[in-house]
Amino acid sequence: MVPGREQGNLPADVSSFMGRRSQIDAARRMLSETRLLTLTGAGGVGKTRLALRIAQQVRRAYEDGVWLVELAALAQPELLTQVTAATLGIRDRTRRPPLDVLVRYLADKQMLLVLDNCEHLMDACTALIGQLLPTAAGLRILVTSRQSLGIPGEHILRVPSLSLPAPGHTPQLSKVSDYDAITLFTERAATACPTFTADPGSLVTVVDICRRLDGLPLAIELAAARMRTLSAECLLERLDDWILVLANSSGSAPPRHRTLRATIDWSFGLCPTHSHQTRSVLTHPDRRVGRRTDTPHCLKRHRHRRGAVRLFNQARKEAEAREQNLESHVHTHHSVGCRSGIPATQQHRGRWNGADVSRG
């Protein structure tokens, strides 16, 4: 290690980070007691962001650094070992199996590995971790995944949505910072629309928006980005057409966050009065579209939804391979799905029209 220089590859924050004090404290405590900690939770709830925050805070404890192995884009589980080795900068010109090389390299290291977005590589991650932990006493692993890995000794920290005011309560402006979901929305909205400021008039609407989005950071960021062109009132009104609003989001979100998968996850749980209708439209795009009785307003909505259906189908194709991979591993209910009343077994088999359960 170069004296005075920390090792690792943690990216710098590109946007502000809200709250999570208690989860960070819990994770730090757990990491001091266990060598494998998995952050679980719905897609878009903030697992990756939290893992990076935790990793930043503990990095000084690891002489050989904290290393982020970003797995969201890795479609081939058999490449997990090579990707991990490449991330660590290991170069091996011999013919030794990559796993041997990695095991040997890590054997005497004091290191934290962050394996991010593991849900579509459960077998491969379980196998790799099972090989590494017993052979590298100074190694700790922080995993993010929608589901826990089920490895003996694994500690699990469930990541909740960002905090919201109690139902029916609108906080005073001076107390907004007590609620991370509201703070996230107002900050991101102000970035999208520099003239936006939450005032007592708009606060009720903003709180409503965040509530409707269940405090899910991904959904809040996508919605807040629409403040570039919409007022808060319009946005709230249009949340009923959530597919339209969020599917049109682009911005700097990674491609996997631009798909409808995550929004579908939370929307089914969040909009009970619309979820069945929306799901029916997604499942049978033509059934509700273009009926003679439709008003122009309805037709406009249907057109938007048809666009959304196309996007959804695209996302579904991407997700299918990973879902199959996941099937044999799923033990737990997916939180938002549970709230939507869809039995876990159905969700995980993708029977509700193949919405991705594998993204992290």
Ligand X SMILES: Nc1ncnc2c1ncn2[C@@H]1O[C@H](COP(=O)(O)OP(=O)(O)O)[C@@H](O)[C@H]1O
120 interacts with ligand X by CB under 6 A: no
46 interacts with ligand X by CB under 6 A: yes
Which one, of 161, 147, 84, 89, lies nearest residue 118 by Cα? Answer: 147
The tokens describing 298, both together, are 């309805």
48 interacts with Mg ion by CB under 5 A: yes
Residue ranges in 139-168 that form contacts with ligand X under rule CB under 6 A: 144
350 interacts with Mg ion by CB under 5 A: no
Instruction: Please pick, from the candidates 111, 112, 133, 184, the single residue that binds ligand X as defined by CB under 6 A.
Output: 184
Part in contact with ligand X (CB under 6 A); list of ranges 13-21, 129-137, 194-202, 263-271: 13-21
Instruction: Please pick, from the candidates 46, 65, 269, 360, the single residue that binds Mg ion as defined by CB under 5 A.
Output: 360
Three-state DSSP state, 321:
helix
Tally the residues of the chain.
360
The footprint of ligand X on this chain (CB under 6 A) covers a number of residues equal to: 19
19 binds, among ligand X, Mg ion, none (CB under 5 to 8 A by kind): ligand X
Part in contact with ligand X (CB under 6 A); list of ranges 18-26, 63-71, 78-86, 163-171: 18-26
Rounded to whole angstroms, the Cα distance separating 70 from 93 reads 24
18 binds, among ligand X, Mg ion, none (CB under 5 to 8 A by kind): ligand X
Rounded to whole angstroms, the Cα distance separating 284 from 344 reads 22
Residues 27 and 39 sit within 8 Å (Cβ to Cβ): yes
Instruction: Please pick, from the candidates 27, 37, 45, 192, the single residue that binds ligand X as defined by CB under 6 A.
Output: 45
Part in contact with Mg ion (CB under 5 A); list of ranges 1-9, 45-53, 154-162, 317-325: 45-53
Q: Which is nearer to ligand X, 231 or 252 (CB)?
A: 252
Q: Which is nearer to ligand X, 98 or 249 (CB)?
A: 249
217 interacts with ligand X by CB under 6 A: yes
List the beta bridge partners of residue 35.
none
Rounded to whole angstroms, the Cα distance separating 323 from 184 reads 31
Instruction: Please pick, from the candidates 8, 19, 77, 215, the single residue that binds ligand X as defined by CB under 6 A.
Output: 19
Residue ranges in 235-294 that form contacts with ligand X under rule CB under 6 A: none
Residue 288 CA: distances (Å) to CA of 242, 271, 294? 17, 19, 9
Rg of the Cα trace of the chain?
22
Which one, of 62, 112, 44, lies nearest residue 264 by Cα? Answer: 44
Provide, rounded to whole angstroms, the least separation between the CB of residue 16 and Mg ion. Answer: 18
Which one, of 343, 351, 286, 283, lies nearest residue 313 by Cα? Answer: 283
Instruction: Please pick, from the candidates 117, 161, 183, 347, the single residue that binds Mg ion as defined by CB under 5 A.
Output: 117
136 interacts with ligand X by CB under 6 A: no
Rounded to whole angstroms, the Cα distance separating 187 from 182 reads 9
Half-sphere exposure of 129 (CA within 13 A, CB side): 27
Q: Which is nearer to ligand X, 214 or 221 (CB)?
A: 221
Q: Which is nearer to Mg ion, 48 or 249 (CB)?
A: 48
Which one, of 261, 323, 342, 347, lies nearest residue 119 by Cα? Answer: 323
Residues 51 and 114 sit within 8 Å (Cβ to Cβ): yes
User: Which residues bind to ligand X, rule: CB under 6 A?
Assistant: 15, 17-20, 41, 43-49, 144, 184, 217-218, 221, 360
